[in-house]
């Protein structure tokens, strides 16, 4: 019994060796080892080491010209000492297999005129696919082809996961949300999806029944028994948190997964599929979070609590008084923007909220804001760039909103999936807060009333003086950044190339 782990960005899927052999421009030919759809590649590596074991990661196509291998002598001809070349070659191939090598590519010329027969025999004996690389094909071309295939597979998998998340979010908004989510999940994983109740009985299901139904129900009951223990209930997260999981595989090769929904309320999502792709766990986890919200509202009235909270806010209630109705004392604000410059839509916003485990989503013109309890630290989400605030009490929500916006700008500039606003203690904590604020206001007084200059200076300092990255973060031209920074230097009468000056200004901006 294994646990599939928490939902995350789906790993890069491997590519079949057959897809590389199909590249006619490379002229590769398999001359030994198993053929068919079995072997897959996770990468390519070129090495002439006599023992490549320490340098392989597993799943590699190892490319070699055979510098360290014997020549064309027969398998029984000794070249040094008493060991023949066949023994040396067999040890080499066994080490490649032990390191998890997926295939061996042998370059014909300039060292060898043909692939040594001893190498062919060793690869055949150890079940390692052996490819002949013709003289006109460089190792760089082969490696580039492998990475191109992997990148295409990764892009396709991310697109599949994103489309599945959107379709699941749309299904959750239908009049019959639970059956709709199950139907969509079963279609996306190509199998069966079942919702089990507190006693392990099937409440709803989608997909064709199969011989895997009984093992799936048993796995669900096992997860229910774990969730029923006092320790598990005490540590149980809220209904929107990433669910506890368990996994197994039937003798027929059907992959089983179970996801506990909600904080010990006894619902389990079971999934049975003939295959388990890199993104299938992420897709099922999104469905589990949606079902947690749906079943949680039925069990605990959380939907009514959220409605009550919003009404009280609209009628003038203080955030710190309303927050307990929403399920948390400390909060994070998350700003998200779709990758590739796409404009967020309601379906994508709902999918982001589901992925972050929160129904508190606000769709803006070019950004989605999500309010997340601090006990659920956000993970990177496929297809999104995220900025996350420091955790704060409800009274600090406006400041956290600004922190998340700045963090998102840094994430866009750095081309990274997620940036968190720093919240650790530092030197500023050694100075009384009122004195630090007074000092900051005095130092930044020449910039008073010039919000664009302050914002640009803050972004420029946070990005280590990079004109291009600051321009991206602020969505302005790099020349505009240069002009604003020059104006700041003039008004402050400061040398902004001096690291001491930059440090002082950064401390001041942190207090402002």
Tokens 């010990």 locate to 264
pLDDT digits (tens, 9 = 90+) for 443-463: 888 988 888 998 999 889 888
Report DSSP letters for 450-503, one per residue.
-HHHHHHHHHHHHTTT-HHHHHHHHTS-HHHHHHHHHHHHHHHT--TT-HHHHH
| Cα(411)–Cα(420) distance, integer angstroms | 9
Question: Any alpha helices (H) in 5-129, and if so which ranges?
Answer: 17-21, 85-98, 117-126
3-state SS assignment for residue 116 = coil
Give residue 476's Cα distance to chain centre: 29
- Cβ neighbour number for residue 493 with a 10 Å cutoff: 7
Per-residue model confidence as pLDDT tens for the chain (512 residues): 444 443 334 467 788 899 999 999 999 999 999 887 678 898 999 999 989 888 888 889 999 999 988 654 433 333 333 445 567 899 999 999 999 999 999 999 888 889 999 999 999 999 999 999 999 999 999 999 999 999 998 888 888 888 888 888 888 877 677 888 999 999 998 899 998 877 677 888 888 888 888 888 888 888 877 655 544 444 444 444 445 666 667 777 788 888 888 654 568 888 998 887 778 888 888 888 888 877 764 444 455 566 666 666 666 777 777 777 666 678 889 999 988 777 877 767 776 777 777 778 888 888 899 888 887 778 888 788 999 998 888 878 888 888 898 888 888 877 888 988 874 445 554 556 677 778 888 888 898 888 899 899 988 988 888 898 888 888 889 899 999 999 999 999 989 888 888 888 888 887 76
3-state SS assignment for residue 259 = strand
pLDDT digits (tens, 9 = 90+) for 77-113: 333 334 455 678 999 999 999 999 999 999 998 888 8
Note if the bond before 110 is cis, omega within 30 degrees. Answer: yes
Report DSSP letters for 161-218, one per residue.
HHHHHHHHHHHHTSSSHHHHHHHHHHHHHTSEEEEE-TTS-EEEEES---TTHHHHHH
Give pLDDT, residue 487: 92
């Amino acid at each position: 019994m294994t646990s599939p782990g928490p939902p995350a960005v789906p790993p890069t899927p491997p590519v079949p060796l057959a897809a590389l052999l199909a590249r006619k421009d490379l002229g590769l030919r398999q001359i030994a080892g198993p053929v068919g759809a079995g072997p897959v590649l996770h990468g390519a590596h070129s090495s002439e080491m006599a023992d490549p074991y320490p340098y392989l990661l597993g799943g590699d196509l190892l490319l070699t010209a055979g510098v360290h291998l014997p020549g064309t002598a027969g398998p029984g001809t000794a070249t040094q000492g008493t060991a023949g070349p066949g023994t040396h070659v067999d040890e080499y191939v066994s080490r490649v297999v032990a390191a998890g090598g997926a295939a061996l590519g042998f370059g014909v010329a300039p060292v060898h005129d043909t692939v040594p027969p001893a190498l062919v025999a060793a690869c055949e004996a150890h079940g390692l696919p052996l490819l002949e690389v013709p003289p006109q094909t460089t190792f760089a071309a082969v490696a580039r082809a492998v990475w191109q295939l992997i990148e295409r597979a990764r892009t396709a998998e991310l697109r599949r996961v994103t489309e599945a998340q959107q379709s699941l979010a749309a299904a959750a908004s239908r009049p019959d949300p639970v059956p709709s989510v199950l139907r969509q999940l079963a279609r996306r994983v190509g199998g069966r999806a079942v919702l089990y109740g507190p006693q392990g009985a099937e409440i709803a299901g989608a997909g064709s029944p199969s011989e895997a139904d009984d093992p799936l129900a048993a796995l669900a009951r096992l997860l229910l028994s774990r969730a029923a223990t006092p320790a598990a209930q005490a540590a149980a997260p809220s209904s929107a948190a990433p669910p506890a999981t368990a996994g197994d595989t039937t003798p027929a090769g059907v992959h089983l997964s179970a996801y506990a929904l909600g904080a010990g309320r006894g619902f389990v999502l079971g999934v049975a599929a003939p295959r388990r792709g890199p993104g299938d766990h992420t897709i099922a986890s999104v469905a589990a979070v949606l079902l947690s919200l749906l079943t949680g509202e039925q069990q605990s009235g959380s939907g009514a609590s959220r409605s009550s909270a919003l009404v009280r806010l609209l009628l003038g209630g203080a955030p710190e008084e309303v927050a307990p109705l929403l399920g948390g004392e400390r909060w994070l604000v998350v700003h998200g923007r779709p990758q590739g410059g796409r404009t967020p839509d309601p379906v994508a916003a709902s999918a982001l909220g589901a992925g972050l485990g929160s129904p508190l989503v606000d769709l803006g013109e070019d950004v989605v804001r999500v309010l997340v309890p601090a006990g659920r630290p956000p993970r990177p989400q496929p297809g999104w760039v995220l900025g996350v605030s420091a955790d704060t009490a409800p009274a600090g929500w406006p400041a956290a909103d600004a922190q998340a916006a700045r963090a998102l700008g840094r994430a866009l500039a750095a081309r990274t999936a997620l940036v968190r606003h720093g919240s650790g203690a530092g030197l500023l904590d050694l100075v009384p807060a009122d004195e630090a604020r007074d000092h900051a206001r005095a130092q930044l007084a020449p910039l008073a009333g010039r919000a664009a200059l302050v914002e640009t200076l803050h972004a420029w300092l946070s990005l280590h003086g990079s004109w291009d990255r600051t321009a991206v973060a602020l969505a302005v031209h790099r020349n505009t950044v240069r002009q604003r920074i020059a104006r700041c230097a003039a008004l402050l009468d400061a040398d902004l190339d001096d690291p001491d000056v930059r440090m002082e200004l950064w401390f001041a901006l942190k207090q402002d």
